[in-house]
Chains A and B, each alone.
Chain A
Amino acid sequence: MTSLLSKCQVCQGLLDEEDLFCSNCGTESPKMARPVKPLASQVTHSFNCTGCGASMTYSSSAKNLVCPFCGSQKLEEKDLKTITAKRIIPFQISQGEAIARLKNWMGKGFWRPRDLATNAEITKLTPVYVPYWLFSAKTSTNWTGDTSKLPNFSSGDWAPVAGTHQGEYDQILVGASSTLTPYETKSVAPFDFLQSRPFHGEESTEYTIEQFCVPRKYARPHAYQEINRLERDTCRKYIPGRSRNVNANVLTREMSSYPVLVPVWIMAYNYEKKVYRFLLNGQNGKPSGTPPFSIGKALGVVTIVVAIVTAILLLFLVVGGLISLMN
């Protein structure tokens, strides 16, 4: 993997060849005398889903080709040259365990239709390696805020405070999938990269691997946003008592990133003619997804609530009438 092209001389952030300026500090990136070797890439036997647009490599052992993201069977064969992941987290959750967790998840939750666990086809649960960019950076932050912890003499409720904080992040994940929504790629996390190992491509014979569809420069703004959010949450903890108006002035340096693959069990299923997607973190077994909403149950609840309210009103009327009669 030779994606490490060059570093910004001012903030030590990783630069891509196509960057004229460092995205972090705006410094001009050094002009490359000779074109540098591009991102490592490999030619793979790939498929494009005509249903949802996902592009992926498929395991040769798969008998029938079904897009794990949307359940469509219309897949186009295509030879693709793509970014190759640097590291991969292997699957820790077996198929049996994944199915068990899926059933458990489907049974849970009041609003889910009761027949979901039995009616949805859970055989289509597929192990997929989903692409992410793994960002790391160092931060130095100035913060300000208001605290509710006040000296005795004060007359108001708030007092201003300010301080500094040094941070280091090495596991900021930004989804590089074109199919999963940012909400999905976020909710399937976290992953523990201590268990990751270098990727040499041997998994591509056994598993479905989704292609990298978001270049680094489009993933980077999301990483900055996430770092800013985390820094603000950290700085909030420095403020004693309750806090408000917390501002974090974050300066990032030494930002770098590399492509990784993480294990996700994905099942796209039809329930009453609509496609839903269930995701299961293939490392720690955390389920996520938007389950179907039971309209029957919702209607039932609304009816019950209306009935109770009407009953209470009637009761008041009757009691009121009785009291006025007695008077």
Chain B
Amino acid sequence: MSSPTSETDLESSPEPPQEIPVAEIVDETVPSPHGQPCNECGSPIEQEDHFCPGCGKENPGYSASAETPQKKFQCQNCGSKVTLDRSVRSYTCPFCDSNYVVETELKGGPEPEFIIGFSLSPEEAQKRFRSWIEKDSFFRPSSLKQVRLKEKLTGVYLPFWSFSMLAESDWAARIGEYWYRTETYTSVDSNGKTTTHTRRVRETEWWPLEGKHHRYYNGYLVTASQSISQRESDSIQPYNLPALKRYQPYFLAGWLSEEATLDKKEAVETTKDYFYQQERKNIGLFLPGDTYSQLQVATDFSKINSDLCLLPVYVHTYHFQGKTFRFLINGQTGQIAGQKPYSYAKTGILVTIIAAILFLIYLFFIFYIS
């Protein structure tokens, strides 16, 4: 039996729509099968599937795992709240490198609903860090390559809000339709002879148009952790969201996890701003004609659903010349982003050289003109 995903696409329609068709999006959201083949029919079954999606046979490997005992810590320096294994004895805050952590009996924080597991091992993360710290080193201090991490990298599950919502928009714009007019003009050549030519000139005819647009949006992740900023979290996006699983406490075994501390209301507004920009872009693609101007879009968001997701991140700090720098690694894709020091000496030398060259050019021109 062939794998279900190997099925080829239906014939593509003759005129591809400008807006990304829903089907493509849906295709993307269908995760590639990665479970064990079913004993009966061979369809891939994942551990969370109670029944085979192909033939409906009960999955023998299905198990609702037992709760993992955990304890919660709060960092007295930066305020992050982190859950970790009972077995952990000592703990350094990964966000600020502080040891001022106290165990708390906090029962706050909403329960996470979805989770993506770590696919990048701490050893691989360490390798990523090494190649990142040694990369594009021209403006960096030479000794940066000697930086060593004090301890092994530890992965943290960071909380993110993800919202799904329906956008319904009223839009108005001026639509431009091109048309061509032939025009005659005369020119005089070097002999003083006058000749007449014709040329095609493109004109735009403007029409007012208004209409509606609607679409479901989802998949934008807003950080629910006060320890990392939205900009930092954007820098290690995207995550492959079809890999999301329903949250089970056993996912956290051996890893740290941070509690959601940021307000949902604020996250909704951030998401709405982002989706409004997406909607505007999609309406721009949806408009007919050759061009448009003065697009006005009023969008109403409804049917808002929120999901709290835990996503795998390696957050760590390193020290360089007495300063602390932080970097993040996407625990699923391995994408790395963070702060790196600049070498003032090297940059200063380069700026001096450029300034000197510019000054020489300037001098050269002055002499040349005079």
Contacts and interface: CB of A to CB of B under 8 A. Distances in A.
A160 B1 contact: no
Nearest to A226: B10
Given A81-B55, A220-B26, A160 B288 contact: yes
B4 A155 contact: no
Interface residues of A, number: 72
A interface secondary structure, majority: mixed
Contacts of A225: 9-10, 13, 21, 23
A24 B30 CA distance: 11
Given A80-B41, A81-B56, A83-B54, A27 B2 contact: no
Interface stretch (B68-76, B123-131, B213-221): B213-221
Contacts, number: 207
A28 interface: yes
A164 interface: yes
B90 interface: no
A146 B290 CA distance: 10
A278 B314 CA distance: 57
Contact of A178 (B1, B55, B245): B1
Given A160-B209, A245-B289, A217 B53 contact: yes
Interface of A: 10-11, 16-18, 20-21, 23-28, 31, 35, 38-41, 48, 53, 55, 80-83, 140, 142, 144-146, 154-164, 178, 181-183, 186, 211-215, 217-218, 220-222, 224-226, 228-229, 232, 244-252
Interface string B13-28: 1010111011100110
B58 to A, nearest CB: 8
B244 interface: yes
Interface centre among B27, B29, B54 (most CB of A within 10 A): B54
Interface stretch (B43-51, B94-102, B315-323): B43-51
Interface in B137-181: 164, 166, 175, 177-179, 181
A81 B216 contact: no
Nearest to A217: B30
B21 A55 contact: no
Contact of A83 (B1, B7, B56, B289): B56
B18 A247 contact: yes
Contact of B7 (A144, A218, A244): A218
Given A23-B26, A182-B8, A232-B17, A55 B1 contact: yes
A24 B303 CA distance: 13
Interface string B83-100: 000000000000000000
B26 A144 contact: no
Interface pairs A-B: 8 shortest CB-CB: A26-B218, A156-B179, A162-B211, A225-B23, A38-B56, A26-B164, A38-B51, A25-B216
B91 to A, nearest CB: 32
A28 B307 contact: yes
A41 B27 CA distance: 26
B114 interface: yes
B245 A142 contact: no
B213 A142 contact: yes
Given A53-B1, A161-B288, A247-B288, A182 B7 contact: yes
B11 interface: yes
A183 B7 CA distance: 11
A247 B50 contact: no
Contacts of B113: 28
B246 interface: yes
Interface residues of B, number: 69
Given A31-B246, A83-B54, 7 more contacts: A38-B50, A53-B1, A178-B7, A222-B9, A225-B13, A232-B13, A244-B288
B305 interface: yes
A155 B46 CA distance: 62
Nearest to B214: A251
B215 A249 contact: yes
Nearest to B43: A215
A39 B5 CA distance: 20
B17 A181 contact: no
A274 B218 CA distance: 49
A39 B41 CA distance: 14
B281 interface: no
Contacts of B179: 155-157
Nearest to B29: A23
B284 to A, nearest CB: 11
B205 interface: yes
A155 B55 contact: no
B212 interface: yes
Given A28-B113, A81-B56, A142-B213, A214 B4 contact: yes
10 contacts: A11-B216, A25-B164, A25-B218, A142-B211, A186-B11, A211-B41, A218-B5, A222-B10, A225-B23, A245-B289
